[in-house]
Every structure is written in structure tokens, then in C-alpha cells.
Structure 1
Amino acid sequence: MFKLLGGLHRSWSSSTLGKPPGCISRIWFGPLPKDSKWVKPGRISYIENDVKKTADIVKIVDGVVVLLFSKSREKLIFVRQFRGSVYHGICTGSNVQVSEGEADLERFPPEMGVTLELCGGAVDKDKSLAEIAQEEVLEECGYKVPVESLKHVFDYRSGVGASSGAMTLFYCEVRDDQKVAMGGGVDNEVIQVVELSVEEARKLVQTGAKTNGGPSCMMGLLWFFLQKDSN
């Protein structure tokens, strides 16, 4: 039976963005299979100043993210989806043990794991980063954009502790006539497209703000307000 392993979990709220993108009826946890396609745990050892040191690491897939801005409606475009890692992190707090068994959905509603993110995806194709980003914009948000419209903003690391994936941030302006599909992802993905006004998005990076989104979203917004929005 799933138990709360940590103390107080971080606050969360989905009320401002409406209902979650999908209907989750059951959640359970288990150990990582050895054939995982996306995550590979390991250990690195090294000698620094004649002292042997080790670090436990998790190899993850590199990714691209795209900050989308609708010129037709002057709104920033985000995606929402359930992230199991976020759900587990909130439920268990600071405890590093991976719990096993069923989650209590009344005590821990699935909405706790719904994130607000920039459009993006894994670098898992033999294509350029811009081409992968172009595909993600179409699949997740429904806009067909030329590769040339994707502005390369910067490259960074998703983390520098246990895991570290190379990330590339793009910026792209879109118009309504480029909307050719509903978006929402491919295969079994359940992704909800969300549009926020510039002022609504500004609240996400104000002092004291809380969000379930990753650092890519915050970094993209801070760049936007610094480089694109002069108000």
C-alpha cells in the first residue's frame, strides 16, 4: 500500500487552469526495469586532488523546448500534462526512496502531477534539433511552422546533480493561419494546449510564485520578458 514517505509536500494548484488534461483512474509505483529506454542509472568515480570520489548519476535523454507566442492573439502558448515523476516527488517529499504499491487517489489526486510546460520533446530522432522542435510544435500544439521561424535562444543543462540532459531552447512566433491541427500529442500522449496572456504569464515568474513546471518554462519566460516584452 502506498505510504507518504516525506513530510509536508509542496503546494500545488490546478484550479486556475481548469480541469486536468486526462482522466487518471489508477496510479501505482514499482522499481525501474533494466531495459528502460529513457533512464539509465550508474555511478561515476574520479580522483580529485588525490582523493577518490564517487557520484551516483542518472543518464537521461536530451531534449528541446519551444517558447511559442501567438502574434494573432498576443498570447504565450503552453502545454499541460500529467508527469509521474512530479506526482511521485510531491507525494514523497524529500525522501529518496522509490515507493511501491498503489497510490491513494483521494489523498493524492492525480492533478498534483499535472505540469505547465513549454512545448517540447526528447531528442530521439536522427534529425536536427530545429527539425525535432518543429515536429513537437505540430504534434503538441497543432501549428505547422517552417524551421527558419524557430529562433535558437540558448543551450543549457536540465540539471547538474544526479541527472544532466542537454537542453536547447527555441522561440517561435505563430499565427492562427498556421494552426492545422488540434495538437495534444501523438500515440497515447494526453496533452492540453493552454494560452496565457503576457500578464498572466508574468505572474508565473514573480517572487513567491509556485508552479509544477520545470526550469525550462521559467527560463523561457524570463528570456521573453527580458528580450521580447518591454512593458
Structure 2
Amino acid sequence: MEQINDIQVVPCTSSNYLKPFRVHYSQNGTKKSWDFMRTHDSVSVLIFNTTSHCFVLVKQFRPAVYMCEWERTKPKAPDSSEQVAEEKEGAAVGGGETPPGSVGMTYELCAGLVDKADLSLEEIARQEVLEECGYDVPVAKLRRITSYRSGVGVTGAKQTMFYAEVSDENCVGEGGGEPQEGELIEVVKVPLHEAMTFAYDESIPKTMGVIFSFIWFHNNMSPKYKISTNV
């Protein structure tokens, strides 16, 4: 999963997921403009296995994270000619050795886009849990935690977070996502007693959703079950 090569950066002329726009507006009498992306809303699910007392996360390669790391660590070009060459369509990534694929790997909650008009948020969440993590969870067992805006400077999309308790009996497959959709996902288990250490370890690349959901669990579920999250 971490074997990343043959990297090329090309202009994005069309996309099924992102649509760039520029909005012009007036705020308190001052004319302004802002560039933004229109994209789908999403759902995420904090999964807790009551059999093993583990959180179930997903680990996957994120090209955007990888490219940010490459940009951050690459040697500075002596002039702008190299940058111009890289921006040409089909240009291979240059500027020294590319970072290993591991720098683009992130730990995340099970999640998916809200792109099926005929399904409720809960039904989409249930489908994602099954596809990515292999657990069959009834819609009625999904607890809505909250919703919030993500990428407020670029997309402003809304994500709705759910909580689901599963047991080993609910596991009906290996998960891993849908290969036909380009997904290559590793299912990862984080023991409950290591959760908060995991959340605050800056050396482990993770989304804010993981950190927030672990804190939510500590505040709302740990007292109920009289279990420790090692805080």
C-alpha cells in the first residue's frame, strides 16, 4: 500500500468531486472575492468494538497529504524555471528524491461522501462501515454525535459524525473499501487504554475527527462503562 511511484502533477481540468469557483461579494461596503471548491458533504463513524475494547479506524494513502509533505521537504529551486516545468501538464515530480509513501498515510474514522440522494445519512454511514471495516451495523444502532463544517476556507462542506458499537459477531467481512472506486484501505484497531495517547501523539498522522471522537468517547461513554481511556 505504501509503494508510491510514477508521480505526475497535471492541471485538474474537470473532476467528479471538486468544482472550483470564485465568488464576488460586498461586506460592510467593501468589495471582496474568494476562491472556493464545491464538493459533497460527508459522514464519519467512530466504531468501538465491545468484544476487544478497541476503536476501529482506517488507514489509507492520501495524495493531498503526500504532496504537501513533498512540497514541505523538497529542496528549494534556484529559480522559477523548475517550478514552471513541473506545472506543465504531465510533468513528472522533480526537485530531488520524492518522500516515501508512508508520509501520505493517515489514520481516520470510517467515512464517506454523501452522494446518494436516495439514502439517509445513517444509511450511507452504515454502508461505509460495511465496505471499509467489514461490520454489519443496523441503522438503528448508529448514534448521531454531531455535525460540523470542515475546510471552511476552501470547501465549507458539512460532515456528520456517528458512533457505532460493534462486536466480533457483527464482523461479516475484511473491509478494505471498494477497489473499483480506487479505495485501498487498511483496517486498524486502537486499544481503548491507548486511545488518548494515540490521539495526542503528533508523530501519528491523523484527522481531527479521530482526536475529537476519542475525546467525545472519553467524556460520554467511559463513565457509563466504567472503562479507562488512559487519561
TM-score range, shorter chain: 0.7 to 0.9
Q: Deviations over 1:109-154 (max 9, x none)?
A: 1111011000011111121000000000000000011001110000
> How much is the aligned-residue C-alpha RMSD, in angstroms?
2.2
Shift of 1:192: 0.2
Matched, 1:145 2:125: no
Matched, 1:162 2:154: yes
Quote the Cα distance in structure 1 between the aligned partners of 2:165 and 2:92.
Answer: 43
Q: Deviations over 1:161-195 (max 9, x none)?
A: 12211100000000001100110001231100000
Shift of 1:203: 1.3
Give identity over the alignment, percent. 38
The alignment covers a number of residue pairs equal to 208
Q: Which is helix-richer, 1 or 2?
A: 2
Aligned residue in 1 for 2:165: 173
What is the correspondence of 1:102-117 to structure 2 with a 5 Å cutoff? 102-103=92-93, 106-117=97-108
What is the correspondence of 1:201-220 to structure 2 with a 5 Å cutoff? 201-206=195-200, 209-220=202-213
Shift of 1:32: 0.9
Aligned residue in 1 for 2:184: 190
Out of 190, 199, 213, the residue aligned to residue 193 of structure 2 is 199
Quote the Cα distance in structure 2 between the aligned partners of 1:209 and 1:103.
Answer: 27
Shift of 1:227: 1.2
**Secondary structure of the structure 1 residue equivalent to 2:222:** coil
Quote the Cα distance in structure 2 between the aligned partners of 1:45 and 1:166.
Answer: 22
User: Which of 213-222 and 64-73 deviates more?
Assistant: 213-222
What is the correspondence of 1:44-63 to structure 2 with a 5 Å cutoff? 44-63=23-42
Quote the Cα distance in structure 2 between the aligned partners of 1:112 and 1:205.
Answer: 18
Structure 1, unaligned stretches of length 5 or more?
1-20
Quote the Cα distance in structure 1 between the aligned partners of 2:137 and 2:8.
Answer: 39
- TM-score in terms of structure 2 length: 0.83
Matched, 1:71 2:62: no
Check the 8 A contact 1:68/1:171 in 2, yes or no.
Answer: yes
Quote the Cα distance in structure 1 between the aligned partners of 2:103 and 2:93.
Answer: 12
Aligned residue in 2 for 1:30: 10
Larger Rg: 2
**Aligned letter for 2:141?**
S
Check the 8 A contact 2:198/2:204 in 1, yes or no.
Answer: yes
Matched, 1:221 2:214: yes
**Secondary structure of the structure 2 residue equivalent to 1:80:** strand
Shift of 1:205: 2.8
Matched, 1:118 2:116: no
Quote the Cα distance in structure 1 between the aligned partners of 2:188 and 2:199.
Answer: 17
Q: Deviations over 1:32-71 (max 9, x none)?
A: 12x2010111111211111111111112211100000000
Check the 8 A contact 1:69/1:173 in 2, yes or no.
Answer: yes
Shift of 1:106: 4.8
Check the 8 A contact 1:40/1:59 in 2, yes or no.
Answer: yes
Check the 8 A contact 1:22/1:190 in 2, yes or no.
Answer: no
